[in-house]
Structure 1
Amino acid sequence: MTQDLITGTTVFDDAGKQVGKVADVSDAEKVGIITETGSRFWVPKQLIAYRDRRWMLEPGYAEISPSEAEAQQEERELDEANAETFPASDPPAFTLGDEGKGS
């Protein structure tokens, strides 16, 4: 018998320790898990399996810390902001001034 992965379902790591509970399953690719401390992280659905009558993270899955997740988000935002400046940050290939014109 299989069980549906629904909001509130407890999730364990491969050592049998409770990691948290499912907070969101609406994303097609990921599952949101909230820990006892209230931090939230996302896990790709293929890394959660129903084994031994409970939902478990695949062996070797490591949750990233909230500070690491924040740093990754800041880096993504900087990369996006940098990409949005293109081509405005590039100098023009020519100028429209009067230099070089013969009178």
Structure 2
Amino acid sequence: MTQDILTGTPVFDDAGDQVGKVADTSNAEKIGIITETGSRFWVPKQMMAYRDQRWTLEPGYTEISTAEAEAQQEERDLDEANAETFPASDPPSFTLGNEGKGN
């Protein structure tokens, strides 16, 4: 790649529409992109090209990745909400032990 990819750099699709901005460049093989809605997805570096003084995804790549990114974000949100429900804040109103039984 002839130009460095910096965090915050806009990324465009092959039609010239901005799909998001670079969010993570720490991976040696992929670039993390964040969309305006907050969804994140990874793009293999070979699927990006520096054309017309801006970073562009290779043709056809965003047709799959945008929908996939939305689905992945929804799944992460559900997993996070599920994780926040455990352990339950209130203990159960009964116990399974022998406490209080007249044996």
Q: Same fold (TM over 0.5)?
A: yes
**Deviation per CA, 1:12-34, whole angstroms, max 9, x where unpaired?**
00000000000000001100000
Deviation at 1:3, TM superposition (A): 2.8
SS in structure 2 at match of 1:49: strand
What residue number does 2:22 align with? 22
SS in structure 1 at match of 2:60: coil
Deviation at 1:71, TM superposition (A): 8.7
Which of 1 and 2 has greater Rg? 1
SS in structure 1 at match of 2:33: strand
Deviation at 1:65, TM superposition (A): 3.9
Query: CA distance change for structure 1 residues 70 and 20 in 2, over 3 Å: closer, same or farther?
Result: closer
Q: How many residue pairs get matched?
A: 71
Query: CA distance change for structure 1 residues 61 and 44 in 2, over 3 Å: closer, same or farther?
Result: same
What residue number does 2:43 align with? 43
Gaps of 5+ in 2: 77-103
TM-score (normalizing by structure 2): 0.62
Gaps of 5+ in 1: 74-103
Structure 1 segments of 4+ aligned residues over 3 angstroms from their partners: 70-73
What residue number does 1:66 align with? 70
Give percent identity, aligned residues only: 69
